[in-house]
Every structure is written in C-alpha cells, then in structure tokens.
Structure 1
Amino acid sequence: MSIRHLDQLLSPRSVVVVGASNRPGSVGATVWRNLRAGTFAGPVFGVNPNRPDLDGVALSARVSDLPEAPDLAVLCTPPDTVPGLIAELGELGTRAAIVMTAGLSAAQKQAALDAARPHLLRLLGPNCLGLVSPRIGLNASFAHVDALPGDIAFVSQSGALVTAVLDWARSRRIGFSHMVSLGERADVDFGDLLDHFASDPHTRAILLYMESIESPRKFMSAARAAARNKPVIVVKAGRAGKGLQAAASHTGALAGSDVVIDAAIRRAGMLRVDTLQDLFMAAETLAHFRGNPQRGLTLMTNGGGAGVMAADAAALAGVDLPPLSEALRGKLDAVLPPTWSRGNPVDIIGDAPVERYTATLRALLDDPETGTVLFMHAPTAIVRSEDIARACAPLAREAAGRLMSSWLGDAGVAEARRIFEGAGVAGYDTPEEAVRAFSMLARYASNQAMLTEAPTASEAGPADRAAARAIVEAALAAGRDMLDELEAKAVLQAYGIPVVPTDAVGPSAGEAVAAAASIGYPVALKILSPDISHKSDVGGVVLALADAAALRQAADQMLARVRSVKPSARITGFTVQAMVSRPHAQELIVGASVDPVFGPVILFGQGGTAVEVMADRAIGLPPLNRVLARELVAGTRVARLLAGYRDHAPARMDAICDVLVTVSQMLADLPELAELDINPLLADSDGVIALDARLRVTAAASAGTSRFAIPPYPAELAETWAWQGRQLLVRPIRPEDEARHLAFAGQLAPEDIRLRFFSTRRELPRSELARLVQIDYDREMAFVVLEAQPDGTQRTLGVVRAVADPDNVEAEFAIILAAELQGHGLGLRLLDKMVAYLRGHGTQRLVALVLRENTGMRELAVNGGFVLDEAGSDRDVYRYVLDLR
C-alpha cells in the first residue's frame, strides 16, 4: 500500500492484544508477557471475552469496549475472527495491526484487507512473528528473547529466522532499531518498510532476509531510494534453486531464476551476502567505510603466516594488493630491519617494538596509493598487544575510514581490540574475514555506482522500427510465436546489429547448391523448421562446406537425420549462409527474456553450443547504456578473453556494448518480444557479427517499458521553447547534469538560495548535489532549463522539481530560476509543464512550502491556481495546495 501509518505500527504510543491469554504456550499469552515484560512506556490493553483481567490488568470483552483507540493492535485470534476485528478497530480509530494468526484463507485475507482499506489501517502479516522496537521498549512478538537497542533495522520474510537472529545477535551485543517479521505480506511488504527506514533517523543500516519479491517496480524504487541514504544488505534464500525450466532460448531458461534477483539487487545499489554472519559483518564494515571505498588493500603484519593467509584470501576474492612505490619503500627501509618483506604484504618481523608499528603505520597511511590498510598482529612475549594498540590509536583514529584490523588470538588481544574499536577501526577475528569484508566493500561501491546511471530507452543507434514491427506482426498474424532464422536476423538488421548474409531455400539439396553458388563457398547449412529452436541439438547444422558435392551430401544427410530424431517437426527447408572466417573472435551470447517478477532482462556471456555447460553469464535489467553494458560484460569470465591475450587483440568493447544497448532498446520498442538469443555473436578487434539468432514473440505484450522494473529516462518529455528571442531546451534532469547544476547553483544570489533552501549556503555538498540530479523517475521529476552557449556547451538556467510521496498522493514542488529569467512568466510556464506531467502520472495534490517573505513564489502559486492551506501554514512558512484531480 504505502508508508501511511507505519509510524503507528513501528513506534506506537499504545498497544492492545486481542486474544490476550494466560494459557501456557499460546501466542496470546506469549505476546502479552513480552509486552508487559519490556520497558514500553505506553498503555497496554487486552481484549478477551472470557476473563475480566490478566496479571492485574483489566481486560475488555470487546474491541468496542476499549477505553481509547490504541495505535497498534496485535491479533492472536482464530482466522475467522480477523476481518471483523479489523473492521471494529478501524471504526475505533486504530491505524495499525499485527496479525499473528496463521491459516487465513485467501478469502479471509482479502476480507481483512477490505475492512482495513477505508481506514488506511496497516496490516503486518498474517502468520508472522510480530515486531520488536527496542528503542521504545516494544516487544510485540512471540519471540523467546528481546532485542538489544541499536541502529540496525532487520526485516525478515521468515519468522523462525527472526528468533534465530535475535539469539545470535544478543550473544554478540548487536542491537536493533527495529526487527520485523513480514509473514505472508498481505499488506506491509519490503517496499513499504524500505521507504520508512530510509528516512528513519534511528536506523543506520537496513538488513533484509528475502525469499521472494512481489511488486518489482515498487520494490526497486524503494530499494534505490533507501540505498542512496544508507547501506541496504540482503540475504536472499534460494540461490541454488531446483534447476532451470525448458525454454525456447537459453536466456528464457533463466526466467524466474535467482540470477535475476541478483541483478536487481546490484542495480538497486544494495549488497547481497550469502550468510547471516556476513549480513552483520557487512553492516559493520559499511558503517566504517561508506563513502570512502578504496580500490586496493595493503597488508601490514608482524608475522609472515598471517600475511600469506590474507594474500591468499585476496587472490581468491579478486582483491587488488597494490605494489609499494619506490618512495614508500625508501621510507620503510629507514624504519624496518633489512629482512623486511619489501613488498605487499608488509612484514615488519615478529620482534617489532612499539615504535616500529607506529612508524610503519604512519608511512602506509601517509601514502594514498596504499588504499585501505589491513593491520594484522599476532601476540608475542616481546611487547604487549595493548601497548601497541595504545600507541597506534591516535593514527588509527585519524584514518579510521582507511584502516581495518585483525588482532589474532583471544584473551591476549582482547584489550587491544577494545582500544582499536574505541578509535573507530573496523575489527575482524581473522585476516580472511577482513579480506572478505573488503571484497564486500568493492562490490558495494560498484553497485552504488550503478545508482548514478539513468539510461534512456532510446540510446541505441538508428533503427528501422517499422520494419521490425512488420516482421513481428506478420508472424503473430500467421499464428506463429517463433520467428524463423531469416526473420530473426532481419529484426536484428533493422536495429543495426551486423548479421552474416543468409538465404532461405526449400527442402532440396539443389536449391541449397544454387544459393551457395550465389553466396560463395565455403558455406554453413542449417535446418529451417518452426518446430526446432536449437538446431545443433538435432544435427541440423553443418559448417565449412567447401563445394557443391559436400553441400549436396550434407543436405540429404541432414534431412534424414532430423526426420529420424524429430519426426513430428515441420521442415520448411534450409538456410545457407557464408562462413565467417574470424579465427581470433570470441563466441558470445546476447539474449533477452521476460522474468515473471522483474519483467524484461538481458543476458550476456560466453556463447556457442556449450553455453549451458560453461554457464559463464551475467544478467542485467534494462534500460542499459554503455556504462551499464560494460558492467554487465565485466561480470563474466569471458571478459578477460575479450581484453586480449597473446596474439589476440582486444575485442571492440564499444561494439559489444552497443549490441547490449540495442537489445535493451528492442525490449522497449517491441512489447511482443518474449525471448531472444543471438548465439553465437562473434566479437574481435574488427567488431561483432551475429551468426545465428532465435526470437520468440507473443501477442500478450510481455515486454515494453511498462514492464521494466526500472523506469527509463523519459526523453519524450523534452521540449524546445522559443522564449523572448532565445531558444531554451526544457527536459528531465539527468545524472550528467551535475557539473552544470553546480555551476548554476554557484551563480545564484545568496537571497535566492535562502528562499529556495530555507537557509543561506555557500555551496551544495557533493552528496546532496548528486541526489538532486540522480532521481527515480517513478517518484520524482525535475525539469531543467538549458541554453546552448557559443562554445557548444549548455548552461543551466533553472529547474522545477516535484517529489511525490511513495503513495503518489502528494508531491512537494519547488522552482528556482537564474536572476535574468525571473519575473517574466517563465516560472508559470514551467509550473504548467510540471502540473501536466503530475496529472498524467496520477498525483492527487501538489504542495508548495513558501517562506513568508518570498513574495515572488507566493504570487506564482496564486497565479498557478494554488490555494493557501491556513491550517498547514505557520507564521514563517506558508503552505499552498493545488488539487490535481
């Protein structure tokens, strides 16, 4: 639904347990005991028609008998009672309920939702463990232990896992701002809670345990918004799966698989980990290093063994250990004995006194090329570990964001660990654990970088969309869902993807020979059948036929073979194509399919007939641009071969990326596209060429931008305005506008900045500036006004912005223009454009918060049809509202 009334759910002022009991082992008794045993300061009411009191607290026989409307109700009653109780609670004024009850039928769940909807009453569950909010002492769950207070929000699809995590975290003194068991997610889901916790000042990091995802665009918008504000870390069950289903294409076989969810998590800027231990380790690591990801790791140790262990772990994790510069080696030569390692790892030798530790650490931290430093220490009898820690602590405190530590041992290094922890240094039990944490940082930084990309749905090269659509529509009109090879290649050609010349002929050897004479030998021969998708599986492909005799023999044998292997297949003929001789080319696969949850997805990997065996592939979500396409390619092993080796020159990466971007565009333009495989796509230093393609379509229109989990850049909203003799481009903002936006802000008068931001600021912080240009077009819109300059660049002259709440009920509006454009009516025209957009987007109200002395903005609001909301205004800030319905 939304984030409405989630504050009453997560931070209620009063609670009622409906079904409160003292029956041992019952849910009602456990919840009542947990609520009463905590430090929750608000009133706790109980409802039970069969007893007047419980533990000295008077109970109500019915919900309607309660002395006041509680913020939160916890329902521990039979399934058939739940819809009626929700209706009563809504009438009373309660706005949040936890349905502990299991076993609700689909009809009962729907009845409960129908009862809640008129009151916007939020439902958590059913069949859930409940929630815990330690900051306010609330334990509205039937967990066996309470949670410690902290700043981590944990949301789990599994109630059993919540109890396990509570046990595990309590023993390690890990605290939580909230712990929430979602249960069956009839109403409150991951997207709702991500939206809430993204702006919760008491939550530093958000941890999720997921088994499945619904409402993908809502989830992706919420996840991307939350990941901009704080670390979001995911454990997703089901990574192994039960195998892939049969499909017409290799890519289609991945629909619904875990790799698609993995791609969504990466694209949303979150971090996925494999275990609960990694979940909390990642949260702690990101708390120390967020905003300062270092590419390389320099190892410092007093024992060669620890250094070797860390270096081995780094090699396995793909973590770079940068070499030491000559200047740094010179500094270390001056403070280390001659037998030191003179490389990375930096082994300072086991007899190191305190002074050697501090001098080495200072030298490493003074050199930015060392990246992050991992400080490792094994205890010795020569010097106490805590003395080393105290001496290094001042250096550690100054560089906590570049320092990791691993004090090897237990009781002998406990005080040293405590000292470094007090200095703000992330600590790990083993070197391998520290390296694993650093590799998480690298993955997280890469995923965060993907958040800055806002590709349009039309970044591919010129395309003959009409020709491609005609081919698709003709196949559907003929009752076919599989395009034949020539049709599939014709669609690729329409989009500018190079294909090998191919002719289709009837099922006779003579026709194949005639076609080959026109093309020129050597040729490849393939069977042509609407019932055969993977031709090589039935012996339907023969390569490098050198002359007519070989071709004639191959054709006859192929017909006999295919009719024997697949007698029911309709054979319409052969395709004859020129053999492509590119001996240094790599065989790739580029594909597309429609995932049942996340919609259109794109595949890239090593191609050829052994594509399933190699399983070297990466999945991405459209829309793609070249940056995202390169990231997709980099996620495969074949990427290293494409970079070149020995006598193989590097492949033309731009050509490969352009194919991926073009496929992304095809998914946007052709909603009927259900599955596509280009396999093999040959790639070398000369570019790319598609040797084979298969394409399945469906009249159900399963692709298209409306099915994209991430909305593309809305290029269609751009306009050119003639304005008082000037040509202005008005278009949605993009991440690459950052530099122009910074220059624009720098030219604004201090008073204009104060009136817009309600404070005087000399400059915008980099993080805030990035947030202004990297927007989610599903929830926010900003139109920039640009003017071309004589040097060919563009200058930003103004921006109008509206940010909607997650329910798209109300959007807050703001506008700022360069001084030269103020007072001439351009602001009203920009407002009209934003109003038209929001109306089309279904937003109900537009709100402007205006400082009392901002007479220009107040006049604009009145001229734009806004009405002053006197109840929502105060002496300094006026609230204007425009009803868009």
Structure 2
Amino acid sequence: MAALRHSLSALFEPRSLLVVSSLPLPVVENTPPCLQGRLTQASINEQGISIAAQLSGLRDGQRLDMALVCVAPHRLPEALDAIKKYQARVVLILAADKSSHDPIEDMVYARSWARFNQCLVVGPRAFGMLRPHLGINLSHEPQSVAAGRVALLGQSRSITSAIMDWAEDIRLGFSTIITLGDEAQLDVADVLDFLATDPRTDSVALYLEHTPPSRRFTSALYALAAVKPTVVLKVGGARNPDEAQEAVFNALMRRVGAVRIRYFVQLFSALKVLVYTRKLKGRRIALFSNGDGAAQLALEVLGPDSAVHCPQLSESTQGLLQQALVPGDQSANPVVSYAPLSPERIEQICSTLLDDTQIDGVLVLLAPDPLAPMAAVAAELAKISSRSRKPIITCLLGDADMRPLRHLLDSVGTPAFRTPDTAANAFDILAIHHYNQQLAQQTLPSLPLSRRPDIGPARELVALAQSERRGLTQQEGMLLLAYFNVPLVALLHNEVLPAAQFDIMPMGLRIDTDKKLGPYVVFGAAGHQGWLPESYRAVDLPPLNRYLARQLIERSPIWRKFLSKQLSAAVFTQLQTVIERLSELVCEVPAVRSLSIDPLYATDEGLYFGELTLGLSAQSMLVLPETVGYGHMAIHPYPRHMVQRRQFKDGQRWVLRPVRPEDAEALQAFMRGLSDESRYMRFVSMLRELTPKMLARYTRIDFDRELALVATVRVGGSGRDEIIGFAHYLRNVDGRGAEYALVIGDEWQRRGLGTELMNALIDEAGLQGLTYIDGYVLASNKPMQALMERLGFQNDVDQEDPAMRRVWLDLGETRRSD
C-alpha cells in the first residue's frame, strides 16, 4: 500500500528548496546531502530579486517544496511575489536583521498571501527549523546540533538558541528544532500533529509564551502525549496575577497527559527522566544515600504537596538491609550508609529496596568518597539499573570526578543528576507524568445510557431567560439542576439541617469560563476561603466522569485537611455524582457561563446547599453544541447525540453509539468470537485478539478528530451490552483524510448493519472537515467491495499490492443510499 506523505513533509523533509535571502545562511554555505542539486539561491540586490527560470532539481510542472525567505520587512511583498509562480508548498520566513515597523501588518499580509496561493507559511520572524539527522539547518544558527530523539518546539527565538547551546554541554541530541515566529498561518497544533507521527521523535519539549486556541491545540497535544512523553514549559505562572487562568492551564496539561514545568532548569531534567524506559507505577519511593546530607536535601523537595513520598519500609526489608549495613547506619527510609561503599554493598542494598512490593522506585544519592571505589560502585549501579523493572534515578554529587560516572549511568538508561534537589524533582516529574497519563485515559464520561438528562427542557429554560435578558431565579436554577439529576437538596429560609450536623467543614463548588479553554470546575472550602490560591489545585475541565470527579476532590486542600476524615463513603460518592452531573450541564448548555453552589453542606443523610447562583451568556444559543463539536469546550465530550436506538427488519432491537472506554472487554470478546475468515478479511492476518495497545487505541477516542462506533444488543436480562459490529476511522498522516475499518459479527451479517455503521461514519467525517475517507480491502473480499460501491465509493487496484483494493470516497460527492 502506498505510503502517504504528511502535509508538513515539505517543511521537515524538503525535496527542493529555493533560498531568497539578503543574509548568508548556513543551509547555502553547508548544503546538506539530501538537498545537493535541489537547492536554488536567488540573487537579491537593491534593484530587485532574480531567480533562475528553472529551479535546481525541479521538473517542469512540479511544485516547489519549500522557499526560505529572509529579507528586510519592507521587501517581504516583493520576495513573496517573486516566488509565487513556483507554487511553493511551504514558505519559511526567517527573522531579518532589520526590525519591522508593523509586525502585525506583515503577519496579516503573509496570511492573506498564503491563503490566496494555497501555501503554508511559517513566520514571519521565525527562528527557523533544524532536522539534524538530515543535516538540514534552515535558521541563522551557524552551528547545528547533535542528532537525537527529542523534538523542541518553541515560541521564542532567544530561548530556543539558549536551549541549543545548553544541550551541547549535556550531550542532548534533537530530532527537530522549530520556532514558528508570528504564526501567520502554521501554528503549534499543526507541528504537534506532525511530531506525533514522526518516526525520528521519541519525546517533545514545548516552550510556550501564550496559550494557543483551545480545541485544536488540546486535540493535537492529547494525540501527541498519548504516544510520546511531552514536557511543556510555559512562562507567566509566577508573575501572572490570574491564579485561575494558570490553574486552568495546569488542568489542561493533566487531562492531555503532558507534564507542565515552571522553570527553565527543569526542562532537561524532565526530558532526561521521561524518556527513561521504566515507568513509575505508583508514588512510593525509597531513598538511599552514602551520607545524611544529600538525603535531607532531597527530602526538602519531597514535601507534602509532592507527587511522590517516602513511606516507612517494611520490617522484613529493614531486616535484610541491616545485613548489608554496618552499625550506626540507618535502615529506615531514607536508608543512609556512613561507611565506605563497595560494589557488593550497593548491589545488596538496591536489590533489597527494589524487591519490596511497597516501593515503586529508588532514588540513589552518592557523594564523592575518597575511601570508596566510586567508579566500581557506579559501574555496579549501572548493572542494577539495566536489569531493574522499577525506575532508578541517581544523583552523583560533584563535577570533575563524578561527571564521567554520570555519563556512564546515563548511557545505560538510568538518569543521573548532579544535585539532590534536581534528582528528587525528576522523580516528582516521573510521578506527575504517570498520574496525568491516567487522567488522559479518562477523557470520556462513563455514564449509563439509561440515565439521560432532560436536555431539551433545560435548554428551553435557559433560552427563555436569555430572551428576557435576565438571569435564572433560584427556583429556575433548582429546576435546571433537577433536569440533570443533580442529587442536591436546597435549604430554604434558613432551614435547619437534619440532626443539626454542622461539624463537617462546609464546601463550595464553582464553575467559571476561561476565555480560551472554556468552562472549568473549582472545588474547595465554602466562602472566600474556597477561592484562595492554594485551592486552585482542585481545578478541572469538563467533561468529567466519576474517576475524574474523585481526583478533583482529593486534590483539594479541604479534602486532605478535613473531608477525608469526615465524609462517609455514601456522601463522598454523592459528591462525585454532583460534580459529574454539573460537568454534563455545562457541556450541554453552553449558555451557562458560571455557576456557584456555596455553601455546600454534608451530613450523614446527604448533601444540602444554601445558595445557588448562575450566570448566563448574553449571546443566545442559535446552534446546538453537538452540531458544532462542542466548540465552547477545550475537550470534546462523549457525543451522546449519536446514540440511536434502532431495530432490524425482524424486530430485533439494537443500539448504534460511539465507543466508550468500558467497552474494552466487550470489544475483545467480539474479536475472539469472529470466525477465522472474518478476522482475516478485516486484519489480513489470523490475529485472534487485540493487543492491549490496540484495545486502548480503539476505545479511548478523541472525538474531535476521530470516531469509533459500535453496534450493540442487550444480552438477556443481565443488562450487559454485546458488541455485534464495529466501525472506526483514524486520520491519515496527510491531515486531509481518514482510513476506515468495518467488521460485522458473523451471525449479524447481511442485515444492513454494515450500511448503517458506514453511513454514520461518513456523516461524522464530513462534519470533522475531512475531504476523503478510504480503506484497504482484500481483492477477494467481494461482499465488502459491493457494500462500499453501493455507498458510492471508488474501487481502485493498489499499485503496490495487487491483492488489495483501495476503496475510497470523496466526501464532496453525493452518496447513493443503500
């Protein structure tokens, strides 16, 4: 099957290049091998710009891949006009040596030119782009960087230059470096999409000075962080007076599975630890140090708000440690040895800690010791790390003598740091990444389909208030909560709580709307205390399910200090339900811009609130949120509007709906139940079940850019859904189309089910802006080909594999019904 070229390949892997520059550029002076005979340099002077009639390496009628432009801002229109006839796929506009009088005007001009000439524009005022493994340096930097597996995407030319210089000192290599400048057209989300599929990139560092527009950025970052560790350094947190805005951004990073760091010095530590092959599976770590000072410095970093903690070691572990330690050493956590270490002792101590089932990782802190063979100790530690199933992070304090030992440990895949605080912080980052990845897998709300809210009446209630240019009354607000089955009871006219139980700390729930990231939920203490800066750790973005609601509560200071000891299990569950359903309310009724339930009281009987206030947007809801992809939110919720109850001609009822994470077990059972023939026709192999990675990929869907549908029937009176058909599409790397797949259970074929599933897929693909949908079908699979042809698909022979057919549909064409 022919491989598709990514829409940004012309930028990152250009096959032809035109340089229009008034300054000398490294790519001209040191042309990389991949561009030898494919690079043309324009002649530029005060009289004009002269370009050879035939560009090097370009055949007649062939489009130019890239033009690299670096001219004074007042000559930018002249340069773009000169290259117009070559129909460049990408134009990269570097920063020039002269400042622009109006950068905004330059950006608007570049954007308009790009749209008119059907071209992608990077810049103006871009740093440029480097692909070290290809030797490509499309920037002003005289020296390139070492090739590696880390991609750097930034919004600052100066910071990018500093990172490149620093990386050389610590021997960090890059797959890609790019800074986009003014982002006239190409933006951060576009590049993230490319990096997610780039085989040269294993991890990504993202430097942000402003938050990109929410939905595309969120969707692209979610797709990237799901497959490659992603570190985001965003400035403004320490000096931004808007604590809520920072908290909302942090919540977004948690939900997409990325790690947000605040300080420049943390960037390389984060990259170093996140590419480590052993992932942290919990929060419990053990510390070992050859002296107490380093351990105490590490403990200063691992405070009560740290993502990891140091639990007490079991008696059996301490007993085994004492056999390796000498009198006066400390066998508790942290474990401290004051006697000189030997390779044998370090092996015994580390192995004992790693064998403890209550320990998830080990932090080893070693200071120089003239009485110990430190090189041999480090070599033994490298052996231990290479075979360990749990992460080991090391700190070798010092510089001249300890630096080569750190390099040794780095080379075997265990991160080695220079100071105790950076090593401890690295473990914290590893734990945050694990936690955020868990949250990212919970994107979809997991609600029983039978518990539907009354969305129609709720929207009518809000629309009436908007038409009358007023807010909701308290009574209307209570009715709105009732429409969404929010299990709260109002306390009216100073009503006394049942049993007068005032000993549980009053709580507060608030929903507000961020200008870029949409609605967000805050949980904290009642009154003004609930909105103090420390409370903004308990912030999350809808949609929320039960798991996410619980995590929101447990991140709050009020939970740690009071509620964890006061709330009964039943009321705790009720509180999670309240948050979950309020989340659904703001998903389905975007006109609700703010909501406050404060105070919120908990008793043994349940939850009661004293005051409810709601704020509505001034703009009427002219279109339903589900028809515009829930554009008011950063994260696309479960598309409940696509859930449809249908029946076959014989009266058998079935349900068509988008897949949910909890469908994983049923989908696996469906796969196992397929006949060998059906399985081969779908997967072109005898695959008997889905791998865990495939199962997660098919059931955890980002509905902003892809879709997976299941057809289900109810099994007897068990209430369990059995999957009888499955269809999905995943976007192709070109960004324009998607590849579909369809499989129907053997007993349910020839009943029109395939037509129903494919029509639903095609309709949604059009709404998501795809221009085509295609799939590869075995030439022997005549029934599938016949179905697709009835739906209006083209049927082409695959030129690279005659045994396959490419069956595709131009989404602009009119389809025939079955």
The aligned residue for residue 213 of structure 1 is 211
Q: 2:144 and 2:734 mapped to 1: Cα distance?
A: 33
Measured at CA, do residues 778 and 240 of structure 1 come closer, stay the same or move farther in structure 2, by a change above 3 Å? same
Q: Is the 8 A contact 2:568 2:604 kept in 1?
A: yes
Structure 1 position 595, deviation (Å): 1.5
Give the percent of matched residue pairs that are identical in Structure 1 and Structure 2.
28
- Could you say which residue in structure 1 is the equivalent of 2:815? none
Equivalent residue runs for 1:147-162 within 5 Å: 147-162=145-160
SS of residue in 2 equivalent to 1:411: coil
- Indicate which of 369, 381, 397 corresponds to 2:370: 381
Other-structure match for 2:687:
761
Measured against aligned partners, the alpha-carbon deviations of 1:743-793 in whole angstroms (never above 9, x if no partner) come to 223333455444323444354332222111101111111111223334443
The reply on whether 1:319 has 2:244 as its aligned counterpart is no
Match of 1:184 in 2: 182
Can you list the C-alpha shifts for 1:783-813, whole angstroms capped at 9, x where unaligned?
1122333444333233111123488732211
Cα distance, 1:192–1:462 mapped onto 2, change above 3 Å: closer
Q: 2:198 maps to what in 1?
A: 200
Verify: 1:140 aligned to 2:138, yes or no. Answer: yes
Match of 2:17 in 1: 15
Match of 1:789 among 715, 718, 737: 715
Report the equivalent of 2:637: 712
| Structure-2 change in CA distance of 1:63 and 1:500 (3 Å) | farther
Alpha-carbon separation, structure 1, partners of 2:167 and 2:583: 43
Q: Which residue does the alignment assign to 2:505?
A: 586
Amino acid at match of 2:267: L
Residue 532 of structure 1: aligned partner: none
Deviations 1:465-494 (Å, cap 9, x if unpaired)? 5665565445434433x4455554554455
Q: Which moved more, 1:647-656 or 1:337-346?
A: 647-656
What pairs up with 1:644-655 in 2 under 5 angstroms?
A: 644-645=564-565, 652-655=571-574
**Counterpart pick for 2:729 among 778, 796, 802:** 802
> What are the Cα deviations for residues 89-113 of structure 1, in whole angstroms up to 9, with x where unaligned?
3431321111125635555534433
Separation in 1, partners of 2:645, 2:515: 39
Aligned partners of 1:145 and 1:166 also within 8 Å: no
* Contact 1:798–1:816 under 8 Å retained in 2: yes
**Aligned AA for 1:195?**
D
Deviation readout 1:841-867 (Å, 9 max, x if unpaired):
443322111233333433332333211
Secondary structure in 1 aligned to 2:371? coil
Seen in structure 2, the aligned counterparts of structure 1 residues 644 and 772 have a Cα distance that, compared at 3 Å, is closer
Q: Residues 326-352 of structure 1, C-alpha deviation per residue, up to 9 Å, x if partnerless?
A: 332333344333544232222244233
Matched, 1:741 2:735: no
Whole-angstrom distance in 1 between the partners of 2:773 and 2:195: 24
1:430-579 matches, within 5 Å, as: 430-456=419-445, 468-469=458-459, 472-480=462-470, 482-483=471-472, 485=474, 487-489=476-478, 491-492=480-481, 495=484, 496-502=486-492, 523=494
Aligned-residue offset at 1:157: 0.8
Amino acid at match of 2:517: F
Aligned pair 1:36/2:10, yes or no?
no
Secondary structure of the 1:739 match is helix
Match of 2:212, as an amino acid? E
2:384 to 392, 395, 398: 395
Amino acid at match of 1:391: E
Q: Specify whether residues 472 and 866 from structure 1 end up closer, same or farther in structure 2 by C-alpha distance, changes over 3 A only.
A: closer
The verdict on how the C-alpha distance between 1:70 and 1:823 changes in structure 2, with shifts beyond 3 A counting, is: same
**Equivalent residue letter for 2:45:** N
Partner of 1:300: 288
Residues 816 and 205 of structure 1, relative CA distance in 2, 3 Å threshold: same
8 A Cα contact 1:400 1:425, kept in partner:
no
Return the offset for 1:72.
1.7
Q: Which residue of 2 aligns with 1:698?
A: 617
Question: Which among 238, 249, 259 is matched to residue 247 of structure 2?
Answer: 259
Q: How far off is 1:202 after superposition?
A: 0.4
Q: Could you tell me how far 1:121 is from its partner in structure 2? A: 1.5
What CA distance in whole angstroms lies between the structure 1 residues aligned with 2:447 and 2:695?
Answer: 26
Corresponding position of 1:661: 580
- Higher mean alpha-carbon deviation, 616-625 vs 36-45, is at 36-45
User: What are the equivalent positions in structure 2 for 1:851-870 lying under 5 Å apart?
Assistant: 851-870=778-797
Structure 1 CA distance for aligned equivalents of residues 173 and 620 of structure 2: 48
Matched position secondary structure for 1:616: helix
Aligned to 2:40: 45
Q: Which residue of 1 aligns with 2:765?
A: 838
Provide the residue aligned with 1:247 in structure 2.
none
Determine helix, strand or coil for the equivalent of 1:405: strand
Question: What is aligned with 2:297?
Answer: 309
Provide the rounded CA distance (Å) in 1 between the counterparts of 2:760 and 2:477. 41
Q: Number of paired residues? A: 785
Change (3 A) 1:761 1:84: farther
Q: How far apart in 2 are the matches of 1:321 and 1:423?
A: 26
Change (3 A) 1:841 1:45: closer
Counterparts of 1:335 and 1:744, CA distance in 2 = 53
The more displaced of 172-181 and 61-70 is 61-70
> Against the structure 1 CA distance between its residues 851 and 466, is the aligned structure 2 distance closer, same or farther, given a 3 Å change threshold?
closer
* Cα distance, 1:683 vs structure 2: 3.1
Partner of 1:633: 553
* 1:283 aligned partner, one-letter code: L
Displacement of 1:203 in angstroms is 0.5
Is 2:266 the partner of 1:278?
yes
How much has 1:134 moved relative to structure 2? Answer: 1.2
Contact 1:84-1:115 at 8 Å conserved across structures:
no
Aligned to 1:548: none
Residue of structure 2 equivalent to 1:847: 774
| Alpha-carbon distance in 2 for matches of 1:142, 1:184 | 17
Three-state SS of the structure 1 residue aligned to 2:226 is: helix
Bigger radius of gyration: 1
Structure 1 416/476 Cα, relative in aligned 2: closer, same or farther at 3 Å? closer
Aligned partner of residue 233 in structure 1, secondary structure: strand
Query: Given the alignment, which residue of 639, 647, 650 partners 1:722?
Result: 647
Deviation by residue 1:75-99 (Cα, 9 ceiling, x = unmatched): 1224354345445534313211111
Residue pairs, 1:237-248, within 5 angstroms: 237-244=235-242
Q: For 1:383 and 1:270, how far apart are their aligned partners in 2? A: 41
The Cα offsets for residues 829-851 of structure 1, whole Å up to 9 and x where unpaired, read as: 32233223334444332211123
| Gap change, CA 1:467 and 1:373, over 3 Å in 2 | same
Q: Which residue of 2 aligns with 1:363?
A: 352
Cα distance in 1 between the residues matched to 2:757 and 2:468? 48
AA of the residue aligned to 2:428:
S
Q: Give the direction of change, closer, same or farther, for the CA distance of 1:760–1:339 in structure 2 (3 Å limit).
A: farther
How far apart, in 1, do the equivalents of 2:580 and 2:695 lie?
28
Change (3 A) 1:422 1:754: farther
Aligned residue for 1:175?
173
**Amino acid aligned to 1:766:** P
After superposition, the Cα gap between the structure-2 partners of 1:849 and 1:189, relative to the gap in structure 1 and judged at 3 Å, is: same
In 1, distance between residues paired with 2:763 and 2:180?
Answer: 38
The 3 A distance-change label for structure 1 pair 308 and 684 is: farther
In the aligned structure 2, how far is the partner of 1:424 from the partner of 1:242?
A: 37
Q: More displaced, 687-696 or 265-274?
A: 687-696
Compared with structure 1, are the counterparts of its residues 478 and 3 closer, same or farther at alpha carbon in structure 2 (3 Å cutoff)? farther
Aligned to 1:774: 700
Task: Single out whichever of 414-423 and 89-98 deviates more from structure 2.
Answer: 414-423
